[in-house]
Amino acid sequence: DAKTTQPTSMDCAEGRAANLPCNHSTISGNEYVYWYRQIHSQGPQYIIHGLKNNETNEMASLIITEDRKSSTLILPHATLRDTAVYYCIVSPRSSNTGKLIFGQGTTLQVKP
């Protein structure tokens, strides 16, 4: 599976958009980009995933560059409850078989 690189930490003001970048320059054609987050020692929570098109759901938007070597997770209106560690993971989808390789993630601190 391709590796990912994320900033260690980021701050965001409450109510503003949080843009979390992820580099995955070795991504291969069948690999998806997944985002999970972990709020203070709870189990990780799935946010969104995508292959090459931009995706949006009720939690976030995912922007993937045309060459697929990087992506950005956007939380449009960050709240204090969005303070968490955000993990960007690249993995094949249909052969995922429950194996996710987590990196260190980005600690997002949303401030009042």
Please say whether the beta carbons of 49 and 108 come within 8 A.
Answer: no
* Span interacting with another protein, options 20-28, 55-63, 68-76, 102-110, rule CB under 8 A: 102-110
Q: Within 34-53, which residues bind another protein (CB under 8 A)?
A: 34, 36, 41-46, 49
Name the minimum Å distance from CB 36 to another protein: 8
Q: What is the number of residues in the chain?
A: 112
Give which of 92, 27, 98, 86 is closest to 62, Cα–Cα.
86
Beta-bridge partners for 22: 71
CB closer to another protein out of 46 and 54: 46
Q: Where does this chain bind another protein (CB under 8 A)?
A: 34, 36, 41-46, 49, 87, 93-94, 96-105
